[in-house]
Amino acid sequence: MRILLVGAGGVGDAFAKIIARRSFFEHVIVCDYDLARAERTVATVAATHGPTVASRFTAEQIDAGDPDRVAAVAKEHRATHVMNAVEPKFVPTIFAGALAAGCDYLDMAVSLSEPHPTHPYTETGVKLGDDQFALAADWETAGRLALVGMGVEPGLSDVFARYASDHLFREIDELGTRDGANLVVRDVAGNEIFAPSFSIWTTIEECLNPPVIFEKDRGWFTTEPFSEPEMFDFPGGIGPVECVNVEHEEVLLMPRWLDAKRVTFKYGLGEEFIGVLKTLHLLGLDSVEPVRVRSATGPVMVAPRDVVAASLPDPATIGPRMTGKTCAGVWVTGTGPDGEPREVYLYHVSDNEWTMREYDAQCVVWQTALNPVIALELLAAGTWGGIGVLGPEAFDAKPFLDLMSAPIEEGGYGEAWGMEDRLAPRP
């Protein structure tokens, strides 16, 4: 397996650090528009693991927005798989480049949505992933696999949902992805600051777009941003966090393969974060349409959202100033195999102190990067396989969770996942 890793930002860098400890692949070509950033990732691998491991990594420059360049670099390095680790706005071009090169493909965020032109808060327009699923026949004809949404959310959350469907429930009322954290970032003086732990570009896209909900009798529909707030109690010492509806891939992926009456995604954003996002929207700073801006060298065209992203700390660099944990999981309600009501939360907690110490990567990007590495290992072993455009729930979840949780000395990843039964037992 020869992997073309597109993107050496926070998640791409963490991906390289995780996969460097595994032996299932032949080579990883670490690519970025900024060659120096790709070289930095390769140098880190060399410094951590030595020349033998480093010899299986190469740095390369790439323009993720150019499908021909993606295909050319993939062919030049004889890549078998293209791993997309950049912002979702580049999904169409990397997706096309991978297919043109005859590679299998993975990403952690699917193609972007477009709100309904007249009823954005009740009806869907172009849904997340629609552009990729529209090309499923092309991937099937080519005999190639595009595994989409294989990060943590989406990704691990979808694996949990498949596991619940196969092993824990006879009938599912709701698959509810719930994400929460108690992360805090401080400046050098120790003051808490606003510093998103993930790409603000992606965060704005998710949080200000109309959230999508799925109901079996109604199909997909939308609602207002930040709607239906609820308190959800997260494990790992995080505790209760208010969660709100957010547009996310799980709601568009899970119903394609799993039978559930309702599918939702709610994110624990917090009052301050929601206030900042609303202000950005009010000022038009969430826009991706370039505006004319005066500069010292003359007028330039700049997308307001790119200005916001450039003004905030790089999520890849905030790890040393971050404390706390993040939790990703799926809350499932319905009827258990015994015919009795059941309610469980399947989850994985990532501790920033541990990920920084073990991988020099902050916990959110590390948790995201872990899951595609596991998926690639299952594909390399032939445990997982398929053709066409598929989500994580199209594959047997048990091998994934077994490999994830098995001790490192036994060939696993040593990452325990949890399950809480949340329905009080009958007296």
User: Is the backbone peptide bond immediately before 154 cis, with ω within 30 degrees of 0?
Assistant: yes
* Fold of the domain spanning 2-152+365-415: Rossmann fold (3.40.50)
Structure tokens given for 238 = 């995080």
Domain spanning 156-363: CATH superfamily: Dihydrodipicolinate Reductase; domain 2 (3.30.360.10)
d(CA 196, CA 369): 17
Encode the chain (427 residues) as per-residue pLDDT tens digits: 999 999 999 999 999 999 999 999 999 999 999 999 999 999 999 999 999 999 999 999 999 999 999 999 999 999 999 999 999 999 999 999 999 999 999 999 999 999 999 999 999 999 999 999 999 999 999 999 999 999 999 999 999 999 999 999 999 999 999 999 998 888 888 887 777 766 777 777 777 889 999 999 999 999 998 899 999 999 999 999 999 999 999 999 999 999 999 999 999 877 777 888 888 888 888 888 888 888 778 888 888 888 888 887 777 777 787 889 999 999 999 999 999 999 999 999 999 999 999 999 999 999 999 999 999 999 999 999 999 999 999 999 999 999 999 999 999 999 999 999 988 655 4
Q: What's the pLDDT at 269?
A: 79
Alpha helices in 151-267 (DSSP H): 156-163, 200-208, 249-257
Q: What's the pLDDT at 426?
A: 52
Per domain, the residue ranges of the chain are 2-152+365-415, 156-363
Q: What's the pLDDT at 425?
A: 56
d(CA 114, CA 203): 16
d(CA 278, CA 280): 5
Q: Do the Cβ atoms of 164 and 250 come closer than 8 Å?
A: no
Q: What's the pLDDT at 202?
A: 75
First-residue to last-residue Cα distance in the chain: 54
Domains 2-152+365-415 and 156-363 share a fold: no
User: Is the C-alpha dihedral spanning 254, 259, 262, 268 positive or negative?
Assistant: negative
Q: Mapping DSSP to helix (H, G, I), strand (E, B) and coil, where does residue 147 land? A: strand
Alpha helices in 84-242 (DSSP H): 91-100, 130-133, 136-142, 156-163, 200-208
Structure tokens given for 385 = 């396989």
Count of positions (residues) in the chain: 427
The set of long-range contacts for 32-36, using a CB threshold of 8 Å and a minimum separation of 24, is: 32/6, 32/7, 32/8, 32/61, 32/62, 33/61, 33/62, 33/63, 33/64, 34/8, 34/61, 35/59, 35/60, 35/61
pLDDT tens for each residue of 350-402: 999 999 999 999 999 999 999 999 999 999 999 999 999 999 999 999 999 99
